[in-house]
Amino acid sequence: MSNDANIIFERPTAMSDRITHYCPGCTHGVIHRLVAESLDELGLRERTVGVAPVGCSVLAYNYFNCDFMEAAHGRAPALATGFKRTRPDMIVFTYQGDGDLASIGMGEIVHSANRGEKFTTIFVNNAIYGMTGGQMAPTTMPLQKTTTSPSGRNVELTGYPIRMVELLSTLKTPSFIARVGVFSPMHIVQAKKIIKKAFRLQAENKCFTMVEVLSTCPTNWGITPIASTKWVASDMEPYYPLGVFKDYEEGEG
Amino acid sequence: MVKKLMKGNEAIGEAAIAAGVRNYFAYPITPQSEVAEYLTWRLPEVGGTFVQAESEVAVGNMLFGAASTGKRVFTTSSSPGISLMQESLSYMAGAHLPVVLVNIMRGGPGLGGILPSQADYFQSVKGGGHGDYQLIVLAPSSVQEAVDLMILAFELADKYLAPVMIIGDGMIGQMMESVEFPEKYRDESNPDEKDWALTGAKDRKPRIVKSLFLNPEELEINSLTLDKKYREMKKSETRHELYKVTGDTKILITAYGTMARICQTVIDELEEEGISVGLFRPITLFPYPEKELFAEVIKDNIEYILDVEMSTGQMIEDVERIVKGARPIDFYGRTGGIVPSPNEIKDKIREMLKK
Residue B210 near chain A (CB below 8 Å): yes
Shared-domain flag, residues B80 and B100: yes
Q: Which of B187, B215, B236 is the last residue of a domain?
A: B236
- The CATH code of the domain that includes B256 is 3.40.50.920
Cβ-defined contact of A46 to B202 (cutoff 8 Å): yes
Q: What local confidence, expressed as pLDDT, does residue A249 receive?
A: 85
Q: Which residues of B touch A46 (CB under 8 A)?
A: 200-202
Q: What local confidence, expressed as pLDDT, does residue A2 receive?
A: 55
Furthest C-alpha separation in chain A: 66
At residue A221 the predicted structure's pLDDT band, cuts being 50, 70 and 90, is very high
Shared-domain flag, residues B333 and B313: yes
Chain B nearest CA to A105, separation (Å): 10
Chain B nearest CA to A238, separation (Å): 33
Q: Which residue has the higher pLDDT, B188 or B19?
A: B19
In sequence order, which residues have a C-beta less than 8 Å from that of residue A251 and are 6 or more positions away?
Answer: none
- pLDDT at residue A253 greater than cutoff 50: no
C-alpha distances out from residue B201 to A67, A169, B189, Å: 6, 33, 22
Listed residue (B125, B171, B179, B243) closest to B3, CA to CA? B179
- The CATH code of the domain that includes B45 is 3.40.50.970
At residue A252 the predicted structure's pLDDT band, cuts being 50, 70 and 90, is low
Q: Which residues of A touch B201 (CB under 8 A)?
A: 45-46, 65-67
Closest Cβ–Cβ partner in B69, B88, B206 for A68: B206
Residue B87 near chain A (CB below 8 Å): yes
Residue B53 near chain A (CB below 8 Å): yes
Q: What local confidence, expressed as pLDDT, does residue B188 receive?
A: 76
Cβ-defined contact of B58 to A80 (cutoff 8 Å): no
Average pLDDT over residues B280-288: 98
Shared-domain flag, residues B337 and B288: yes
Domains observed in chain A: 28-250 (3.40.50.970)
At residue B73 the predicted structure's pLDDT band, cuts being 50, 70 and 90, is very high
Chain B nearest CA to A218, separation (Å): 24
pLDDT digits (tens, 9 = 90+) for B91-129: 999 999 999 999 999 999 999 999 999 999 999 999 899
Q: Which residues of A touch B71 (CB under 8 A)?
A: 86-87
pLDDT digits (tens, 9 = 90+) for A105-141: 999 999 999 999 999 999 999 999 999 999 999 999 9
Shared-domain flag, residues B52 and B23: yes
Q: What local confidence, expressed as pLDDT, does residue B193 receive?
A: 81
Return d(Cα B209, Cα A69) in angstroms, integer: 5
Q: Which residues of A touch B101 (CB under 8 A)?
A: none
The pLDDT > 70 percentage for chain B reads: 99
Q: Which of B180, B210, B236 is the last residue of a domain?
A: B236
Return d(Cα B215, Cα B232) in angstroms, integer: 26
pLDDT digits (tens, 9 = 90+) for B296-327: 999 999 999 999 999 999 999 999 999 999 99
Shared-domain flag, residues B229 and B267: no
Average pLDDT over residues B147-173: 96
Q: What local confidence, expressed as pLDDT, does residue A32 receive?
A: 98
Closest Cβ–Cβ partner in B60, B73, B209 for A86: B73
Residue B286 lies inside a defined structural domain of this protein:
yes
- pLDDT at residue B223 greater than cutoff 80: yes
Cβ-defined contact of B199 to A67 (cutoff 8 Å): yes
Average pLDDT over residues A186-211: 98
Query: What ipTM was assigned to the predicted interfaces of this complex?
Result: 0.96
Closest Cβ–Cβ partner in B61, B95, B207 for A82: B61
Cβ-defined contact of B69 to A83 (cutoff 8 Å): yes
Alpha helices in A116-224, H assignment, sequence order: 155-158, 164-169, 185-203, 218-221
Shared-domain flag, residues B147 and B108: yes
Alpha helices in B19-68, H assignment, sequence order: 33-45, 56-67
The pLDDT > 90 percentage for chain B reads: 95
Shared-domain flag, residues B151 and B80: yes
Chain B nearest CA to A223, separation (Å): 28
C-alpha distances out from residue B158 to A32, B75, B152, Å: 34, 16, 10
pLDDT digits (tens, 9 = 90+) for A140-182: 999 999 999 999 999 999 999 999 999 999 999 999 999 999 9
Shared-domain flag, residues B95 and B146: yes
- pLDDT at residue B191 greater than cutoff 80: no
Cβ–Cβ pairs < 8 A, chains A and B: 131
Chain B nearest CA to A79, separation (Å): 4
**Searching chain A, which residue's CA lies closest to the CA of residue B21?**
A86
Q: Give the total number of structural domains in chain B.
A: 2
Residue A106 near chain B (CB below 8 Å): no
At residue B1 the predicted structure's pLDDT band, cuts being 50, 70 and 90, is low
Closest Cβ–Cβ partner in A46, A51, A58 for B212: A58
At residue A251 the predicted structure's pLDDT band, cuts being 50, 70 and 90, is confident
Q: What local confidence, expressed as pLDDT, does residue B355 receive?
A: 78
**Is the overall model pTM greater than 0.90, yes or no?**
yes
Cβ-defined contact of B62 to A85 (cutoff 8 Å): yes
Q: How many CB atoms lie within 10 A of CB A86?
A: 25
Cβ-defined contact of B200 to A85 (cutoff 8 Å): no
Cβ-defined contact of B206 to A70 (cutoff 8 Å): no
Label residues B298-313 b or e (16+ Cβ within 10 Å = b): eeeebebbbbbbbbeb
Average pLDDT over residues B147-156: 98
- pLDDT at residue B63 greater than cutoff 80: yes
Q: What local confidence, expressed as pLDDT, does residue B192 receive?
A: 67
- pLDDT at residue A250 greater than cutoff 90: no
Q: What local confidence, expressed as pLDDT, does residue B103 receive?
A: 98
Which residues numbered 45-64 in A keep a CB inside 8 Å of some CB on B?
45-49, 51-52, 58, 61, 64
Shared-domain flag, residues B229 and B281: no
Question: Which amino acid, A93?
Answer: F
At residue B190 the predicted structure's pLDDT band, cuts being 50, 70 and 90, is low
Q: Which range of residues forms the domain containing residue B20?
A: 4-198+224-236
Q: What local confidence, expressed as pLDDT, does residue B297 receive?
A: 97
Residue B214 lies inside a defined structural domain of this protein:
no
Residue B219 lies inside a defined structural domain of this protein:
no
